[in-house]
Amino acid sequence: MCGIVGYIGTKKASPILINGLLRLEYRGYDSAGIATIEKDGISLMKDKGRVKNLYNLEGIDDLEGTIGIAHTRWATHGKPSKENSHPHIDNSKTFSVVHNGIIENYHELREFLADNGYTFYSQTDTEVIPNLIHYYYSKDEKNDELKFLRAVRNACKDLKGSFAIEVVCKDYPDNMIVVRKDSPLVIGKGDGENYISSDIPAILSFTRDFYLLNDLEFVILSRNDAKFYDIDLKPIDKKTKTIEWNASSAEKDGFDDYMLKEIYEQPTAIRETIGSKLTENSKCEFEDLTFTKEYLQSINKIYIVACGTAMHAGLAGKNAIEKLCKIPTEVDIASEFRYRDPIIDEKTLCIFISQSGETADTIAALKLSREKGAKTLAISNVIGSSITREADYSIYTHAGPEIAVASTKAYTSQVVLLILLSIYFAELLEIKNEDIANLKKEVLELPKKIEETLKTSEVVKEFSKKVYQEKDMFFLGRGIDETVAKEGSLKLKEISYIHAESYAAGELKHGPIALIENDVTVIGIMTDPKLVEKTISNIQEVVTRGAKTLIVTNQDIDDKRFDMVIHIPHTNTFVSPILSIIPLQLFSYYISKEKGLDVDKPRNLAKSVTVE
Ligand code: M6R
């Protein structure tokens, strides 16, 4: 949540900063601002509302500074307002700071600083940071080149919580300091310039060489250099990492919205995620995994822990692992997992799924599992993301940058990766299961079948036009289809603001059916041949009560019973979520468009949830 951009180079900083913020707006868009170092000191320009409002601020075009920091906010402490917008500045106007994260002890720090004569002008937790830096700076009698760094380091030692911060100082007009703890921040290395950002895609058009920071590594940036220090201010040697994503993968490429582009990128995302891990006639291989048969035999439980859509992908993973490997697997919501005292020991394998790799709850759940002695495996889409640096093992989806807040290609890539993982485990365990050979074939055919499924777009759009003004919708399925119902319902809520519920179809008559009345829309998913007749009976119960029905199926059913039936290619129940979710992604998309909403940046949501 919140997006940070920084620039230090020879070009005018303000257009670069605003451009970067526009790309990071999916992280939060309550207010935005930039601070640049000008000839007469630090200039601050900020306001509430969207980033584009910055273009209207008086004097923004006159900024000449070539060093600057910038921020787009997702409000936590203090309502969206100009005063609460970042950057913040200390009372003496020496330091300006942008911050992503939450300072948990800001009350105590505020009182401490107030007792020392500092005044506060916002309700934010962030405003303590520039003032605390100033406090230490003013107490430091040594006037050497590390004075700025010492002040930032000393202030950070006092901060509890999570933070990624950029600091500029009017006394050091050719430097910027950045540091992170439990909040994302990367540095892009250019030629005679450095870029800073909360994520890689925002600055991919400038460079593909990145420094990835660990917690509490302090960086002094100058135009031609980046010097790294640990918390004791001992220098650290750090190399850049070249990122394979190309700049166009972070562009809309002619699509109206990132979400639609990302839906259509799914054949490629799945192909890339499968990569060379799987061929029809050889064993499934994960270059980065060194699990042994003995280890897998020693574990008695797997936890899959994640949030939102990633958790829904975990449900498909549980289905595959339990069915193929017979290892009991539980799926948990990260924010609950860590507080429910889960039973974990060295016989537990904990798998954490996070597209961004920066979700605070998921990272905290991982740390807890590690402390309790479990082995940890991270699944992420972002190389070098926090979760991958914390885990014992990491494997990656290769979905390319996902910009739209509503996750689409990351979900299907996570499901395919989990299926590959379960095949890998089953083969290591030497489990003889005739499903495996068939499953490999089905996985390899997925990109083609996704392309087929995408052709349902027009029919889905037609149905969306009929129901976009509805207030409530229900998603029903049984078995693996229930997991897709959950994901379909989440997608709809997020971007259309329609109240949506998902249920195991058989559960409806135990209560929720009381909500079904004339013209309520019910979406049924039916891909499991063993359960299709049962689900049809449940849907029949709502049809009888006047519901409008949309069915997504790969089975031969009597279409006449329903208002609209979307037929998708046939596949088995391990991989069916990857196909059956696609019409539902399109459904949410078209409903959101019909309602004239901002598909990529739905209200109140941020792409990366880096606070608890
Ligand atoms: O980056 P992560 O995969 O950890 O994000 C987890 C959830 O916040 C995310 O999947 C969220 O539910 C999406 N907006 C859903 O579309």
Q: What is the DSSP string of 360-424?
A: HHHHHHHHHHHHTT-EEEEEESSTT-HHHHHSSEEEE-------SSS-SHHHHHHHHHHHHHHHH
Q: Are strands 472-477 and 521-526 parallel, antiparallel or unpaired?
A: parallel
* 43 CB near ligand 1 (under 6 Å): no
Q: Ligand 1: distance of its center to the CA of 607 in Å?
A: 7
What residues does 219 pair with on adjacent strands?
Answer: 178, 228
Task: Give the nearest ligand 1 atom to 387 CA.
Answer: 4
* 488 CB near ligand 1 (under 6 Å): no
Q: Are strands 209-212 and 194-197 parallel, antiparallel or unpaired?
A: unpaired
What residues does 176 pair with on adjacent strands?
Answer: 221
Q: Ligand 1: distance of its center to the CA of 405 in Å?
A: 8
Query: Distances from the Cα of 165 to the Cαs of 133, 216, 255, 480, in angstroms?
Result: 12, 11, 34, 43
* 379 CB near ligand 1 (under 6 Å): no
**CA–CA separation, 185 vs 7, rounded Å?**
13
User: Which residue, by CA, sits nearest to atom 14 of ligand 1?
Assistant: 406
User: Which residue, by CA, sits nearest to atom 4 of ligand 1?
Assistant: 354
Asked if residue 247 has pLDDT above 80, the reply is no
Q: Ligand 1: distance of its center to the CA of 76 in Å?
A: 18
Residue type, 386: S
Helix orientation angle between 576-594 and 409-428, rounded to the nearest 10 degrees: 170
**CB neighbours of 273 closer than 8 A, spacing ≥ 6?**
396, 397, 398, 399, 413, 416, 417, 420
Do 355 and 607 meet the contact criterion of CB atoms below 8 Å apart? no
* 199 CB near ligand 1 (under 6 Å): no
For ligand 1, mutation pick of 183, 359, 592 (most atoms within 8 Å of CB): 359
Helices (H) and strands (E) in the chain, counts: 17, 25
CA angle 341, 344, 347 (to 5 degrees): 170
Helices (H), 250-307: 258-264, 266-274, 293-298
Q: Kindly indicate the confidence band of residue 485, based on its pLDDT and cuts at 50, 70 and 90.
A: very high
Do 362 and 378 meet the contact criterion of CB atoms below 8 Å apart? no
Query: Which residue in the block uniquely carries the two structure tokens 């900024």?
Result: 63
Asked if residue 1 has pLDDT above 80, the reply is no
Helices (H), 522-571: 532-544
Average pLDDT of the residues in 247-270: 90
Structure tokens at 543: 């049809």
Question: What share of the chain has pLDDT > 90, as a percent?
Answer: 81
**CA–CA separation, 8 vs 176, rounded Å?**
8
Query: Distances from the Cα of 19 to the Cαs of 23, 71, 74, 227, 535, in angstroms?
Result: 7, 11, 18, 26, 49
Structure tokens at 317: 């993973």
Burial 166-191 (b: 16+ CB within 10 A, else e): bbbbbebbebbbbbbbbbbbbbbbbe
* 609 CB near ligand 1 (under 6 Å): yes
Q: Ligand 1: distance of its center to the CA of 30 in Å?
A: 20
pLDDT at 302: 98
Task: Give the nearest ligand 1 atom to 414 CA.
Answer: 3
pLDDT at 474: 96
User: Which residue, by CA, sits nearest to atom 12 of ligand 1?
Assistant: 308
* 356 CB near ligand 1 (under 6 Å): yes
**CA–CA separation, 58 vs 200, rounded Å?**
30
| Nearest one of 73, 93, 68, 84 to 167, comparing CA atoms | 68
**CA–CA separation, 35 vs 605, rounded Å?**
26
Average pLDDT of the residues in 442-459: 97
CA angle 445, 317, 401 (to 5 degrees): 70
Residue 56 has a CB neighbour count (10 Å cut-off) of 9
Q: Please report which helix (H) or strand (E) contains residue 111, including its range.
A: helix 106-115
**CA–CA separation, 98 vs 88, rounded Å?**
7
Surface-to-core class of residue 254, CB atoms within 10 Å of its CB (0-12 exposed, 13-18 middle, 19+ buried): exposed
- pLDDT tens sequence across 72-109: 988 788 888 888 999 999 999 999 999 998 899 999 99
Q: Kindly indicate the confidence band of residue 145, based on its pLDDT and cuts at 50, 70 and 90.
A: confident
> Helix (H, G, I), strand (E, B), or coil: what is residue 276?
coil
Query: Distances from the Cα of 426 to the Cαs of 21, 283, 312, in angstroms?
Result: 45, 10, 22
Task: Give the nearest ligand 1 atom to 362 CA.
Answer: 4
- pLDDT tens sequence across 495-521: 999 999 999 999 988 998 888 988 899
* 310 CB near ligand 1 (under 6 Å): yes
Q: Would you call 607 a catalytic residue per the annotation?
A: yes
Q: Ligand 1: distance of its center to the CA of 292 in Å?
A: 31
For ligand 1, mutation pick of 263, 304, 309 (most atoms within 8 Å of CB): 309
CB-hemisphere CA count at 13 Å for 542?
Answer: 34
pLDDT at 26: 76
**CA–CA separation, 289 vs 305, rounded Å?**
19
Q: Ligand 1: distance of its center to the CA of 318 in Å?
A: 18
Task: Give the nearest ligand 1 atom to 359 CA.
Answer: 4
Average pLDDT of the residues in 388-408: 94
User: Which residue, by CA, sits nearest to atom 2 of ligand 1?
Assistant: 354
Residue type, 258: Y
**CA–CA separation, 132 vs 140, rounded Å?**
13
Q: Please report which helix (H) or strand (E) contains residue 465, including its range.
A: helix 457-467
* 359 CB near ligand 1 (under 6 Å): yes
User: Which residue, by CA, sits nearest to atom 11 of ligand 1?
Assistant: 308
* 309 CB near ligand 1 (under 6 Å): yes
Asked if residue 611 has pLDDT above 80, the reply is no
Q: Ligand 1: distance of its center to the CA of 304 in Å?
A: 15
> Helix (H, G, I), strand (E, B), or coil: what is residue 500?
strand
Do 500 and 473 meet the contact criterion of CB atoms below 8 Å apart? yes
User: Which residue, by CA, sits nearest to atom 7 of ligand 1?
Assistant: 308
**CA–CA separation, 577 vs 98, rounded Å?**
41
* 355 CB near ligand 1 (under 6 Å): yes
| Nearest one of 316, 311, 350 to 332, comparing CA atoms | 311
Helix orientation angle between 128-139 and 147-158, rounded to the nearest 10 degrees: 130
CB-hemisphere CA count at 13 Å for 528?
Answer: 18
For ligand 1, mutation pick of 1, 307, 388, 415 (most atoms within 8 Å of CB): 307
Query: Which residue in the block uniquely carries the two structure tokens 């049924």?
Result: 524
> Helix (H, G, I), strand (E, B), or coil: what is residue 139?
helix
- pLDDT tens sequence across 534-568: 999 999 999 999 999 999 999 999 889 999 999 99
* 405 CB near ligand 1 (under 6 Å): yes
**CB neighbours of 282 closer than 8 A, spacing ≥ 6?**
none
- pLDDT tens sequence across 571-598: 999 999 999 999 999 999 999 999 999 9
Asked if residue 164 has pLDDT above 80, the reply is yes
Q: What is the largest CA-CA distance in the chain?
A: 84
Q: Please report which helix (H) or strand (E) contains residue 566, including its range.
A: strand 564-567
* 407 CB near ligand 1 (under 6 Å): yes
Q: Ligand 1: distance of its center to the CA of 407 in Å?
A: 6
Query: Which residue in the block uniquely carries the two structure tokens 């959101």?
Result: 592
**CA–CA separation, 264 vs 184, rounded Å?**
28
Supply the mean pLDDT for the chain.
94
pLDDT at 610: 74
| Nearest one of 378, 375, 316 to 528, comparing CA atoms | 316
User: Which residue, by CA, sits nearest to atom 10 of ligand 1?
Assistant: 309
| Nearest one of 374, 315, 320 to 345, comparing CA atoms | 374
Walk me through the domains of the chain, giving residue ranges and CATH numbers: 3-243 (3.60.20.10), 253-432 (3.40.50.10490), 455-594 (3.40.50.10490)
* 386 CB near ligand 1 (under 6 Å): no
- pLDDT tens sequence across 286-329: 998 999 999 999 999 999 999 999 999 999 999 999 999 999 99
> Helix (H, G, I), strand (E, B), or coil: what is residue 521?
strand
Q: Ligand 1: distance of its center to the CA of 565 in Å?
A: 29
Active-site residue (options: 2, 284, 325, 350):
2
Task: Give the nearest ligand 1 atom to 410 CA.
Answer: 3
Q: Ligand 1: distance of its center to the CA of 601 in Å?
A: 13
Q: Would you call 2 a catalytic residue per the annotation?
A: yes
Active-site residue (options: 181, 449, 491, 607):
607
Q: Kindly indicate the confidence band of residue 272, based on its pLDDT and cuts at 50, 70 and 90.
A: very high
Asked if residue 455 has pLDDT above 90, the reply is yes
Q: Ligand 1: distance of its center to the CA of 354 in Å?
A: 7
Q: Ligand 1: distance of its center to the CA of 11 in Å?
A: 36
